[in-house]
Structure 1
Amino acid sequence: MKIYKNSRGKWEFKTRAGVKPDGSVRWVKRSFKTKKEAEKAYMELMSEVHKGTYVTPSKLLYQDFIEQWFETKQHSINIQTKRVYRGHIDKQIKPLLGQMKLANIKPVHVQNFINELVSSGLSPATIRKIHRIVSMSFDYAVKIKELPDNPAKYVILPKNTKREMKVWSKEEVEKFLKEVKSSRYYIAFHLALTTGMRQGEILGLRWKDIDFENKTLTVRQTLAHNKKEFLNGGKTSNAVRKIDLFDDTIKELKAHRKVILAEKLKKGDKYQDFDLVVCTSNGTPTSQANIKRVMDNAIKRSNVPKIRFHDLRHTHATHLLEKGENVKVVAERLGHSKSSFTMDVYSHVTPSMQKEMVTRLQQYFQFG
């Protein structure tokens, strides 16, 4: 191999870089503005060849590659996650990175991409989700020898600011439930506040999932955001769980079941029976928009702080932890995979728990 000046005045080298799958020699030819650049590139290339890390530059555009990756990835994720990925790929990733060749994407390009997302006003949490999709696709490219390394590993992401958690006091919970008692969706709010279930889990709950004798329910399916599909299992593997119910909850469920059975009898063949606990008067799945409308109106009438439906789950967990319930038990009830995650989410409760723990230990040991 020698570095030489070609007819166009550029410095060039041509060298062997291994063997192709068919057994023929793989040649690499590159040209540069200066001799120094050519020498440096040649040494880097030879180092990769000797280490076995050299990858032939892909001619694929990134927009075509990420489609190939998504085709493979979609079989291992649920429907809702698939829709989220699809949306970010089409709306942010392909428009900003898609026209680049996969082999040409460097950390600086990914950093510029992240900076564009920040400038567009997307939240840090959303940007981190988009970065994760891009990074997973590059990991796959490395795995199948399309890239030597993942360029998304080296970028600086915006700080993920935690959204302030809002929870209701015992008195506020009671005021809200009293106000929403007459609604057909009362049972949805009651379940959220007494079990900590996610909204999709509540809207997908069936009567056959409830064991009235043992006072438990089992989370086995969730209602997708589009209100058209039920997803088997939960948000995660830990989300499929059994939850013990309060006596009051059993009482409310039995009363609610009588209402549903009466509607079913009245509608006859027009009733669409999905066996749902929370449903419309025709038996069909309930939309989150309807739940939100009822909740917002009840909040105004009861004059309690405005919170999201998901904050009812936070309210349930916060009260359990404040009452000294074991973190592991709370994590299992919520369907969290790790107790450490529960403690991180509910870190606002930790100071009071620490003080109560010290008080209990002092009383136990009776120092002095």
Structure 2
Amino acid sequence: MARRGENIYKRKDGRWEGRYIKGRQKTGKIHYGYIYGYKYSEVKHQLILKKYEKQTNSSKNLLPYEGQLLDWTSYWLETFVRPKVKSSTYASYKNKMNVHVLSTIGSIKLQKLKQADIDTLLKKMNGRLKASSIRSIFSVLKNCLSKAVSLKLLAENPCIGLELPKTRKKTVQALSITDQAKLVKEVSSSQKFFSIILALQTGLRIGEICGLKWEDIDFENNTLGVNRTVLRVQTEDKAGRKTEIVEVTPKSNNSQRKIPITESLRKKLLELQKISTSEYVISNKHKALEPRTIAYRFQIIRKKIGLEKFSFHSLRHTFATRCLEAGGNIATISSLLGHSSTKMTLDCYTNSFFTEERQLVEKLEFN
């Protein structure tokens, strides 16, 4: 079938066939309409009329709305997002829209927003943000506009059909056994760096460490409960934009979990509890330490012993890698880490299986 022009094809029977989007099925699949004629110009003209007719009908069904994208986003966040999500999620959505979207296209009227405007925004972000960040921002914008479509403020979502930058698979940075021993030796003598030991022996996220309370530790059964996380989020008050510390439940049901602790870690926790004046395990007198402070303390240590390429999150990866090396199965490690699925664990730690893969292949060697 030869093609000439946009969605116009030459059929084997000599006729021209024009195709247009007639609607969508409940599944979201596109339902096409077709026009036939023996002249290309005739089919093209009929296609133009059909597209105009669809646009006109769509416009007639739209509710009148004179607001800008900025106005709609503010309403969407306050009405449909804030009541349903954690404060940290709301703050994240708001920040993504304000900083990366509304600063560029916020002044465009909602009903005048085109796919070309979104495409220009993506290209602008592509020059300064990682692909994963762009996809995250785009997802929030798409959800925002989808709600406008469902309320008949938009005929269709201009985000649909756009190409997003491809993300690169992250490589896990875990400490070697030698580097881990060096780190443990450096921090073991000071309670100030106990958060590092805790991360290495439990795989807790930095926010989970900050939110850990003494009531979460069962010294009789040697378990530790992960029931909350501490985050610094962006907020806004009369004095202007700032950040604040919030305490929320873990990011998912799987993140709220119990972790067995070793006898050596139990003893260290008991020692720390004797001198603690706070309900939090990692604290500064009476208050919980915030993630920024713990990360800064780790930064001091890593520079001192030459481990600058590692972040505090690397300690979590190190815990998982040691579990793999000890023969732990993926389901167990996934549960310890609080991952939403074993697939997520496999995606994160594929490289850590290389030693096992080599040993397996060597068993297949023959002369």
Q: TM-score higher than 0.5 here?
A: yes
- Alpha-carbon distance change, 129 to 203 in structure 1, aligned in 2, over 3 angstroms: same
- Alpha-carbon distance change, 37 to 277 in structure 1, aligned in 2, over 3 angstroms: same
- Alpha-carbon distance change, 50 to 356 in structure 1, aligned in 2, over 3 angstroms: farther
| d(CA) in 1 for partners of 2:294, 2:268 | 18
| d(CA) in 1 for partners of 2:326, 2:151 | 52
Q: Does 1:132 align with 2:136?
A: no
- Alpha-carbon distance change, 41 to 157 in structure 1, aligned in 2, over 3 angstroms: same
User: Among 113, 116, 126, which residue is 1:118 paired with?
Assistant: 126
Aligned to 1:33: none
- Alpha-carbon distance change, 228 to 59 in structure 1, aligned in 2, over 3 angstroms: closer
| d(CA) in 2 for partners of 1:240, 1:47 | 50
Q: Does 1:331 align with 2:334?
A: yes
Aligned-CA RMSD value: 3.0
Secondary structure of the equivalent of 1:242?
A: strand
| d(CA) in 2 for partners of 1:304, 1:232 | 31
Query: 1:259 is aligned with what amino acid?
Result: I
List runs of 5+ in structure 2 lacking aligned partners. Answer: 1-42, 234-242
Aligned to 2:84: 76
Residue deviations 1:74-96 (CA, integer Å, cap 9, x gap): 22222222222222222221121
Q: 1:1-368, aligned counterparts within 5 Å?
A: 42-44=49-51, 46-47=53-54, 55=62, 58-71=65-78, 72-119=80-127, 121-225=128-232, 229-260=245-276, 264=277, 273=278, 275-280=279-284, 282-356=285-359
Report the more deviating stretch, 225-234 or 148-157. 225-234
| d(CA) in 1 for partners of 2:244, 2:95 | 18
- Alpha-carbon distance change, 359 to 142 in structure 1, aligned in 2, over 3 angstroms: farther
Report the more deviating stretch, 226-235 or 185-194. 226-235
| d(CA) in 2 for partners of 1:160, 1:150 | 23
- Alpha-carbon distance change, 144 to 224 in structure 1, aligned in 2, over 3 angstroms: same
Query: 1:242 is aligned with what amino acid?
Result: K
Q: Percent identity?
A: 27
Secondary structure of the equivalent of 1:87?
A: helix
List runs of 5+ in structure 1 lacking aligned partners. Answer: 1-35, 265-272
Query: 1:301 is aligned with what amino acid?
Result: K
Query: 1:93 is aligned with what amino acid?
Result: V
Deviation at 1:313, TM superposition (A): 0.5
Residue deviations 1:312-338 (CA, integer Å, cap 9, x gap): 101111221233311111111111111
Deviation at 1:203, TM superposition (A): 0.7
| d(CA) in 2 for partners of 1:228, 1:102 | 32
Query: 1:344 is aligned with what amino acid?
Result: D
- Alpha-carbon distance change, 335 to 81 in structure 1, aligned in 2, over 3 angstroms: same
| d(CA) in 1 for partners of 2:244, 2:62 | 45
Secondary structure of the equivalent of 2:229?
A: strand
| d(CA) in 2 for partners of 1:305, 1:98 | 40
Query: 1:278 is aligned with what amino acid?
Result: I
Greater fraction of residues in helix: 1
Do the aligned partners of 1:74 and 1:82 also contact (CA within 8 Å) in 2? yes
Greater fraction of residues in strand: 2
| d(CA) in 1 for partners of 2:253, 2:45 | 53
Residue deviations 1:236-279 (CA, integer Å, cap 9, x gap): 2211111111111111111111221xxx3xxxxxxxx4x10000
Aligned to 1:19: none
Deviation at 1:356, TM superposition (A): 4.5
Structure 1 moving runs of 4+ over 6 Å: 36-39, 48-53
Do the aligned partners of 1:321 and 1:353 also contact (CA within 8 Å) in 2? no
| d(CA) in 2 for partners of 1:128, 1:318 | 29
Query: 1:112 is aligned with what amino acid?
Result: T
Do the aligned partners of 2:86 and 2:248 also contact (CA within 8 Å) in 1? no
| d(CA) in 1 for partners of 2:288, 2:45 | 65
Residue deviations 1:110-154 (CA, integer Å, cap 9, x gap): 1111001123x1222221111111111112122222223222121
Do the aligned partners of 1:188 and 1:278 also contact (CA within 8 Å) in 2? yes
Secondary structure of the equivalent of 2:286?
A: coil
Deviation at 1:229, TM superposition (A): 4.2
